[in-house]
């Protein structure tokens, strides 16, 4: 597949050009996992992707219009979405909220997906699984408490990762949480009062190397939400930068 153009933030360049540029700028998470592997199903979680691909197909080659996203465009879609940036190799995707549920453990589980069955699963805003990405994160044990967004405490963390020949590999880390204080946050023209929490995790030395993971969370305690984060998804996919675009 041809790599997608990367979006830029900014205000609209006009009622039609700016909206067109915003639509063209967005891409679905299928760019992270490969082309669609099956028929699309109609759901709010994929309406954003369908609208985007339709306009990408219409766009003429060499269109010099700047690629922009703004809040007015985002608010056209009732379904909440996440913006995902894979730092290696700098790909951007958008996922719609597909499922919210509780299980026997503390915290709320949310599943965000694209129409190619790629998905990210979170517990209280902390990444616990990926589907359809390289080196899938099968599951993760995360330190959460009911009613608290993001990491509730430090301690041991386990990542269960898919490795070669469909095997499972366990990465065990010891983590410490540092509160870096208030950090006002802006996401596409909307502002939030957040605290920046940083999770520093280290594992034992294996094959002469130590696994070190640094996760960051911008947490809104009033709304009990992680609006922004940078989280490790395993050694193959690396870090994901995540922003909640909910209205």
pLDDT tens series, the chain, 247 aa: 333 334 333 333 333 333 333 333 333 333 333 333 333 333 444 555 555 455 445 544 455 554 467 888 888 877 888 999 999 877 888 888 989 999 999 999 999 988 777 899 999 999 999 998 878 899 999 999 999 999 999 999 999 998 777 788 899 999 999 999 999 999 999 999 999 999 999 998 877 888 999 999 999 988 899 999 999 999 888 999 999 998 7
**C-beta neighbour count of 28 within 10 angstroms:** 25
Residues 6 or more apart whose Cβ sits within 8 Å of residue 208: none
Please give the span between the terminal C-alpha atoms of the chain, in angstroms, as a whole number.
32
- pTM recorded for the entire structure: 0.77
pLDDT of residue 205: 82
What's the token pair of residue 155? 């301690």
| Dihedral (Cα; 159, 215, 242, 149), 10-degree rounding | 90
All domains of the chain, ordered by start, with CATH? 8-244 (2.40.360.10)
Contact (CB, 8 A) for 97 and 119: no
Alpha-carbon distance values, 87 to 31, 32, 223 (Å): 13, 11, 28
Residues 6 or more apart whose Cβ sits within 8 Å of residue 66: 8, 10, 13, 21
Backbone angles phi, psi at 54, to 5 degrees: -60, -45
Residues 6 or more apart whose Cβ sits within 8 Å of residue 137: 127, 128, 129, 130, 159, 160, 161, 162, 233, 234, 237
Residue with tokens 């589980």: 109
Q: Which of 125, 126, 177, 172 is nearest to 154 (CA)?
A: 177
Contact (CB, 8 A) for 175 and 199: yes
What is the Cα Rg of the chain in Å? 18
Q: What CA–CA distance (Å, rounded) separates 60 from 70?
A: 22
Q: What CA–CA distance (Å, rounded) separates 22 from 32?
A: 20
Alpha-carbon distance values, 166 to 27, 30, 135, 211 (Å): 29, 22, 10, 22
* Beta strand 190-192 pairing with 185-187: antiparallel
């Amino acid at each position: 597949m041809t790599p997608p153009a990367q979006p830029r933030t900014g205000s609209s360049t006009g009622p039609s050009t700016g909206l067109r540029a915003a639509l063209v700028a967005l891409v679905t998470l299928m760019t992270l996992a490969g082309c669609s592997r099956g028929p699309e199903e109609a759901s709010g979680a994929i309406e954003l992707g369908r609208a985007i691909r339709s306009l990408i197909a219409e766009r003429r080659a060499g269109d010099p219009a700047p690629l922009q996203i703004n809040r007015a465009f985002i608010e056209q879609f009732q379904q909440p979405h996440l913006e995902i940036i894979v730092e290696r190799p700098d790909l951007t995707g958008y996922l719609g909220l597909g499922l919210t549920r509780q299980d026997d453990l503390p915290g709320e589980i949310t599943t965000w997906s694209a129409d190619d069955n790629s998905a990210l699963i979170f517990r209280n805003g902390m990444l616990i699984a990926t589907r359809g990405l390289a080196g899938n994160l099968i599951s993760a044990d995360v330190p959460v408490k009911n009613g608290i967004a993001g990491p509730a405490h430090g301690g041991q963390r386990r990542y269960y990762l898919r490795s070669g020949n469909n095997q499972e590999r366990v990465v065990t880390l010891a983590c410490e949480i540092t509160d870096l204080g208030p950090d006002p946050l802006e996401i596409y023209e909307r502002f939030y009062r957040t605290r920046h929490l940083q999770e520093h995790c280290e594992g034992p030395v294996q094959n002469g190397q130590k696994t070190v993971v640094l996760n960051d969370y911008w947490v809104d305690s009033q709304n009990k939400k992680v609006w922004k984060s940078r989280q490790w998804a395993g050694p193959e996919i690396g870090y994901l930068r995540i922003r909640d675009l909910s209205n």
